[in-house]
Structure 1
Amino acid sequence: MSYGNAAALQRAVFQRLSTDGALAALVGPHIYDAMPAGALPPLYVVLGAEDVRDASDQTGRGAWHQFTVIVVTQSAGFATAKAAAAAVSDALVDAPLALERGTLVCLNFHKAKAARVGTGAVRQINLIFRARVADDT
């Protein structure tokens, strides 16, 4: 197994989301790799948790990366969050990401969960993606 591609994949995903025009039209520059200090905007995207499993075989080392991208809005209802979540999905699924280390074999949508956070107007959608990465260093 190799975890060596994890940082490269994260940087590529963040770069892809940060430069996607459709997503920027909805959330502006509010795409985060880590939560910023201070007040948050009413709609933002943040990279979340990752789970990695071995995918090595006779051809070489590799791994399956299952990672979460989170969309949060303070708008009542899910319409705004779902529009942003759709833009995230459109930007990532089958994206030709160039990694600093290794090769992206595939990137697919796995599942999503939309939920109200607490009793207020905050809505959150957790989008889970699966990426197969070959560590061909």
Structure 2
Amino acid sequence: MSYGVSAALQAAVYQALSADATLASLVGNHIYDAFPAGTLPPLYVALGPELVKDQSDKTGGGAVHQFTVSVVTDTAGFATAKQAAGAVSDALVDADLTLNRGTLVALNFYRAKAVRVGAADERRIDLTFNARVADD
């Protein structure tokens, strides 16, 4: 197994989300790998946790990266967050991402969970994707 493709995959996912016009129309440039200092905007996207499992075989090293992208809003109701979550999904599912190390074999939607956060109006949708990569 190799974890070496992880940074390349994360960079490609961030680039794909940042370049997506539909997502930009909803969240602007508020797509984060690391949160900025200060107050967060009312709607944003954040790259989240990752779980990686070995998928190497006799042809070479590989792994499945299960990663989360979160859509967060401080607006009451889920409608706005769901529109942004749909745009995230559309931008990533079956995306043809170019990695600076390794090769993306497949990128698929796995699941989503929509929750209220705290006692305020904040809502969060966590979208989980599976990316199969080869470290060639």
Name the TM tier (shorter chain).
over 0.9
Give, in angstroms, the shift of residue 36 of structure 1. 1.1
Match of 1:90, as an amino acid?
D
- Separation in structure 1 between the aligned mates of residue 19 and residue 99 of structure 2, nearest angstrom: 16
TM-score by length of 1: 0.99
1:26 equivalent in alignment to 2:26 = yes
Aligned to 1:58: 58
State the partner residue of 1:9: 9
In 1: Cα distance, 2:37 partner to 2:108 partner:
31
In the TM superposition, 1:121-136 aligns within 5 A as 121-136=121-136
Equivalents in 2 of 1:125, 1:37: separation in Å? 22
| Per-residue deviation, 1:35 | 1.1
Query: Matched residues in 1 for 2:75 and 2:15: separation?
Result: 26
Q: Post-superposition shift, 1:118?
A: 0.6
In structure 2, stretches of 5+ residues that fail to align are: none
SS of residue matched to 1:72: strand
* Partner Cα separation in structure 1 for residue 59 and residue 131 of structure 2: 18
1:20-99 aligned at under 5 Å gives the runs 20-99=20-99
Question: How many residue pairs are counted as aligned between the two chains?
Answer: 136
Letter of the aligned partner of 1:53 in structure 2?
K
Ranges in structure 1 where 5+ consecutive residues have no aligned partner: none
Distance in 2 between the 1:72 and 1:37 partners? Answer: 17
What's the TM-score once normalised by structure 2's chain length?
Answer: 0.99
Aligned counterparts of 1:2 and 1:62: Cα–Cα separation in 2: 6
The one-letter code sitting in structure 2 at the alignment partner of 1:26 is L
Identity across the alignment (%): 71
Distance of 2:118 and 2:32 partners within structure 1: 22
Q: Distance in 1 between matches of 2:77 and 2:113?
A: 14
Counterpart Cα distance in 2 of 1:96 and 1:109: 14
Map Cα deviations across residues 36-80 of structure 1 (whole Å, 9 max, x no partner): 110010000000000000000011100000000000001100000
Letter in 2 for 1:25: S
RMSD value over aligned CA atoms?
0.4
